[in-house]
């Protein structure tokens, strides 16, 4: 019985690890998308071109993904 419970516990831990990784990736992206999805005036007055939008909008998300990837590799999770 103890061996079975230990096996089930290890399987649940592996699933929780995968869910944590997925949540850690999507939570900052959801925050950034929600932040840039708001209607606010200062963004319109400060972003005058497509390259500036790409740097602020897409560049921030790519930087967050790279930071998370580096964190996961350092921990040995990915």
Give the residue extent of every domain in the chain.
2-75
What pLDDT sits at residue 40? 62
CA 72 to chain centre: 11
Closest CA relative to residue 57, chosen from 78, 77, 37: 37
CA 33 to chain centre: 11
pLDDT tens sequence for the chain (78 residues): 889 999 999 999 999 988 888 888 888 888 878 877 776 666 666 777 778 777 777 888 788 888 888 888 888 876
Q: Report pTM.
A: 0.48
């Amino acid at each position: 019985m103890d061996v079975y419970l230990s096996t089930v516990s290890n399987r649940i831990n592996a699933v929780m690890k995968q869910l944590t990784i997925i949540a850690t990736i999507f939570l900052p992206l959801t925050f950034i998308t929600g932040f840039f999805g708001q209607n606010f005036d200062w963004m319109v007055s400060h972003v005058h071109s497509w390259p500036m939008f790409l740097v602020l909008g897409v560049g921030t998300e790519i930087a967050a993904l790279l930071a998370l990837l580096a964190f996961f590799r350092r921990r040995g999770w990915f």
